[in-house]
């Protein structure tokens, strides 16, 4: 479970192990970091965010309700907020813009995005990309890459 260097392949064998990997990953993030989480349905993106929240010493959660879906969760922590988008149901990036969500992406706080493919056009480095591959019932492979 080494996190040295970029673009390591890490295999986890349980959700708790994924959370632990994310908790370590949180330590290398600096203020304002943007983390894009890529992987199929059920790959483990939300599980990873749970670990990130632990690593960032998050104390409470607030859900921002959109007219139709919940796209944004805000977690308050000792080191500031963590913004967590789940854009699975978003069909047009114009919707993201019309809700003023772009302010969160490039702000002072750490922001992580599930299904960033939905807003690909809006995303410019620097950001981290985390790819999750569903290998088996309980095993997942993680890769990290930083785009500066
Ligand atoms: N090694 C593992 N790491 C993460 N999750 C695992 C692992 N093994 C099994 N799981 C299970 O896989 C599921 C992952 O769900 P999770 O909600 O994190 O996925 P997701 O990528 O966010 O999916 P979605 O695209 O639907 O939001 C959970 O039910 C979790 O318990
Ligand atoms: Mg999810």
Query: Which residues have a Cβ under 8 Å from the Cβ of 5 and sit 6 or more positions away?
Result: none
Q: Would you write out the chain's pLDDT as a tens digit for each of its 148 residues?
A: 334 445 678 999 999 999 999 999 999 999 999 999 999 999 999 999 999 999 999 988 776 665 557 899 999 988 889 999 999 999 999 999 999 999 999 899 999 999 999 999 999 999 999 999 999 999 999 999 999 9
Distance 131 CA to ligand 1 centre (A): 13
**Whole-model pTM?**
0.93
Structural domain contains residue 10: no
Evaluate: CB of 56 within 6 angstroms of ligand 1. Answer: no
Let me know if residue 6 belongs to a domain.
no
CATH of the domain at 72: 3.40.50.300
Range of the domain at 109: 15-147
Number of folded domains that form the chain = 1
Our answer on whether the CB atom of 70 is closer than 6 Å to any ligand 1 atom is: no
Looking at residue 66, its pLDDT comes to 59
| pLDDT value of residue 67 | 57
122 falls within a domain: yes
Interatomic CA distance for residues 20 and 134, integer angstroms: 17
Asked if residues 90 and 114 have their Cβ atoms less than 8 Å apart, the reply is: no
Nearest ligand to the C-alpha atom of residue 45: 1
């Amino acid at each position: 479970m080494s996190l040295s260097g970029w673009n390591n392949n890490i295999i986890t064998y349980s959700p708790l192990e994924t959370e632990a990997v994310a908790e370590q990953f949180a330590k290398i993030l600096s203020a304002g970091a943007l983390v894009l989480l890529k992987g199929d349905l059920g790959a483990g993106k939300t599980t990873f965010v749970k670990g990130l929240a632990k690593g960032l010493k998050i104390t409470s959660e607030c859900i921002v309700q959109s007219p139709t879906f919940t796209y944004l969760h805000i977690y308050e922590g000792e080191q500031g907020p963590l913004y967590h988008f789940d854009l699975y149901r978003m069909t047009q990036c114009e919707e993201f813009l019309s809700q003023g969500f772009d302010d969160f992406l490039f702000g002072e706080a750490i922001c992580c995005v599930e299904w960033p493919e939905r807003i690909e056009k809006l995303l410019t480095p620097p950001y981290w990309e985390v790819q999750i591959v569903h290998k088996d019932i309980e095993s997942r492979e993680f890769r990290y890459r930083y785009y500066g």
